[in-house]
Amino acid sequence: MTDIYTTPNSELIDSETPAFEAPLFKLVGIGLATAFGSVIAGGYLMARNYKSMGEHRNARSAIIYSAVGFVAIMLLAAFIPESWNVSNTVFTVTQIIVMVQLAKRYQGAALDAVKTSNGSFQSNWKAFGISLLFLLFIGVVVFGVVFAAAYFTSWSM
C-alpha cells in the first residue's frame, strides 16, 4: 500500500523548457525599442536575445547590421529632396516593420519555445527604458555633430 502523504518522484525542471542565460525580449519589446530608439535599439535587443541564447557571433552581427541600417536611414533621409514631401512616419514605420520581421524570422522559434513552455520574458518596460537611453544617446551625438559642424564652419569664414 502506498503512502498518500509522500511526495511523488518527478523532475522539477521540465526538459522541454529551453535553457537560456537570461530571459528573452519579446517581439513587441523589439518593435517598441525600434519605434522610440531607432533600429540601433531594436538591434541591441536582438543582440541581447542572441547573447542569452549563447549565439555571440549573431549578437555581434545584429549590432553591426543595425548600425549600418541606422547610417543608411540617416543618409537616405538627408538626401531626399524637400520637394518630395516624404513624411518622417514612413521611415519610422518601415524601421519597425523590418526589425520585427527580422526578429520573427531569426529568433521566432526560440521565442515560441519559451512561450509554449511558459518561460519568462524580459519586461516591455525594460525594452522601453533601453530605447529611451538610445534615443538620448543618439540625440546627444547628433547635437554634438551639428554643434561641431556649426562651430568649425564659423571659424573658416
**What's the confidence (pLDDT) of residue 156?**
57
Predicted confidence at residue 140, as pLDDT, reads 95
Question: What's the pLDDT at 82?
Answer: 84
Q: Cβ(18)–Cβ(102) under 8 Å?
A: no
Residue 103 neighbours by CB under 8 Å, 6+ apart: 27, 30, 42, 46, 49, 111
Cα separation, 33 vs 20, whole angstroms: 22
pLDDT of residue 42: 97
Question: CB 21: neighbour CB atoms within 10 A?
Answer: 9
Across the chain, which has 157 residues, the per-10-residue mean pLDDT values are 72 64 95 96 97 96 96 90 86 94 96 91 96 96 90 72
The predicted model scores a pTM of 0.83
- pLDDT score at 155: 65
Give one DSSP letter per residue of 96-136, joined into a string. Answer: HHHHHHHHHHHHHHHHHHHHHTT--B--HHHHHHHHHHHHH
Supply angle C-alpha 5, 8, 10, rounded to 5: 160
| Residue 34 to residue 141: CA distance in whole angstroms | 18
Q: C-alpha grid cell for residue 135?
A: 534615443
35's CB contacts (< 8 A; 6+ apart) are 92, 95, 96, 131
